[in-house]
């Protein structure tokens, strides 16, 4: 277990939790002066928990929990990929480990599919729902077809030079304006154990759609959108806002990765919503 402090206000604790036959790497930002419900965060496609560290630091007075899904970062691998519903149930076992009954849930990009499943299948454990740079599942509406096709290629997780070249056009916002930001982001990425773990995550996304049951989501829901998102069309957010009864939007002047590149602003919107 490792620990990092921040001005004496919180601890960022990283530990390995045994869930069944799989080891799950969990990061918890345990605020000493907790405000509101703990926040469980599902990360984006292929991303390890370290990419959330700027957001977790900015959420200084909220108890935040996230974890690497099997096959990513520090978590163990599985022979068969998990569906979004199975990953939601895995997350429930993670918070059980910390004796937490109810959480607010945040899903980022690919992770929004897990967050939506958690809100539906484990509604009694979900207080509020946040969807950031997300979609209701298949069919995903891309900003353009090229960005959607690029998601099928895990090269950006194995070739740093390729990601340096493609981060701006793919993510938009501050990533398209700051090479230094791209370098910082590169330093947070863990090398994948095998491309098959990435394809397993894609398989989970391709099997998922929530369009038929979004109207059953009962939790207050915040839909967060980057105005300069080059990956997803804003129509995805509009669909969710139309279908989820208690939903509201918030727009940030950044791209698809605003949770990383505008962590402070993102954290402020999240705290206002869940506190």
List, by residue number, the catalytic residues.
109
Taking a C-beta distance cutoff of 8 angstroms, is the pair 24, 92 a contact? no
- Cα angle 39, 43, 24 (rounded to 5 degrees) comes to 85
Taking a C-beta distance cutoff of 8 angstroms, is the pair 76, 24 a contact? yes
Cβ atoms within 10 Å of 178's Cβ, excluding its own? 15
- Quote the CA–CA distance of 146 and 73 in Å, as a whole number: 27
Kindly report the backbone phi and psi dihedral angles of residue 161, in degrees, each rounded to the nearest multiple of 5, phi listed first: -65, -40
Q: Which burial class, exposed, middle or buried, applies to 240 when counting CB atoms under 10 A from its CB (0-12, 13-18, 19+)?
A: buried
């Amino acid at each position: 277990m490792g620990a990092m402090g921040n001005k004496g206000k919180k601890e960022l604790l990283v530990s390995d939790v045994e869930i069944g036959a799989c080891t799950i790497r969990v990061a918890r930002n345990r605020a000493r002066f907790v405000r509101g419900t703990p926040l469980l965060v599902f990360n984006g496609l292929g991303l390890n928990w370290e990419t959330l560290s700027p957001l977790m630091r900015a959420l200084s007075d909220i108890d935040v929990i996230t974890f690497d899904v099997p096959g990513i970062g520090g978590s163990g691998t599985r022979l068969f990929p998990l569906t979004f519903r199975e990953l939601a149930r895995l997350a429930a076992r993670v918070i059980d480990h910390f004796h937490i009954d109810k959480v607010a849930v945040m899903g980022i990009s690919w992770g929004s599919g897990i967050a939506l499943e958690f809100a539906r299948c484990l509604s009694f454990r979900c207080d509020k729902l946040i969807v950031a740079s997300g979609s209701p599942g298949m069919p995903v509406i891309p900003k353009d077809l090229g960005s959607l096709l690029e998601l099928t290629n895990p090269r950006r997780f194995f070739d740093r030079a390729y990601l340096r070249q493609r981060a701006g056009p793919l993510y938009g916002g501050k990533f398209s304006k700051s090479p230094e930001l791209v370098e910082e982001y590169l330093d947070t990425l863990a090398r994948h154990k095998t491309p098959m773990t990435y394809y397993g995550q894609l398989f989970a996304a391709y099997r998922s759609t929530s369009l038929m049951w979004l109207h059953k989501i009962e939790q207050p829901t915040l839909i967060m959108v980057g105005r300069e998102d080059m990956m997803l069309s804003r129509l995805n957010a509009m669909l969710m806002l139309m279908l989820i009864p208690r939903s509201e939007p918030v727009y940030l002047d950044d791209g698809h990765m605003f949770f990383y590149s505008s962590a402070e602003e993102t954290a402020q919107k999240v705290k206002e919503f869940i506190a």
